[in-house]
Amino acid sequence: MQIAILLYEGVTALDAIGPYETLSRLPDARPVFVADRPGLVRNEKGSLGLFADAALGDVPTPDLIVVPGAPDTSGPRESAAVRDWLRAADATSTWTTSVCTGSLILAEAGLLTGRRATTHWHELDVLASYGVQATGDRVVTDGKYVTAAGVSSGIDMGLTLAGRIGGDRVAQSIQLLIEYDPQPPYDAGSPQKAPADIVAELRPAA
């Protein structure tokens, strides 16, 4: 099973690495990082490099597509090469997925129109503007499309898919191997739980 994980300048690293750490442990998984051209891609801070093994055209028919997000997705959203690759790859993929604002990239390519999907809570209104049924759920499955909310939810999305593909026992084994047992010191991981003043401070200006 070939798993194509899209990279681009300014990507949020955990959006890509969370699904990689879960899905790459599936039996027969063949993950490959793809970008406009092979080579080093810098994350949103510019301080971390991820390496794209292949160009988009080198991976035309992956079984599973992962589109990570970023604080600014205008680059990949405005890229004809990315849009064309996503549309063509999606035509034959078994699963098409995203993490965080990666769903905006899928939406720009026209792949989520009329579907239920999620994204980072900052961008739910933007996602809805594409004709998507935007929801704040952590992981949303609509047919073969699986979208995850903000950053860390990509791990949940990966485990959800691992269960669908390999079965519960395989997914549970992966969860145990990566010791994914969240016990955060704070309960402020969503706008519904975080203190109101912090939510107001971090909410984008209208």
Catalytic residues: 100
d(CA 1, CA 112): 23
Residue with tokens 């604002």: 101
CA-CA distance, 113 to 153, in Å (whole number)?
22
For residue 121, the 8-state DSSP code is G
Q: Are 6 and 82 in contact (CB under 8 A)?
A: yes
CA distance 132 to 182: 30
Beta strands 145-148; 95-99: pairing state: parallel
Query: Which one-letter amino acid corresponds to residue 169?
Result: R
Do residues 36 and 79 make contact, with C-beta atoms less than 8 angstroms apart? yes
CA-CA distance, 163 to 180, in Å (whole number)? 15
- Token pair of 79 as six digits: 């890229």
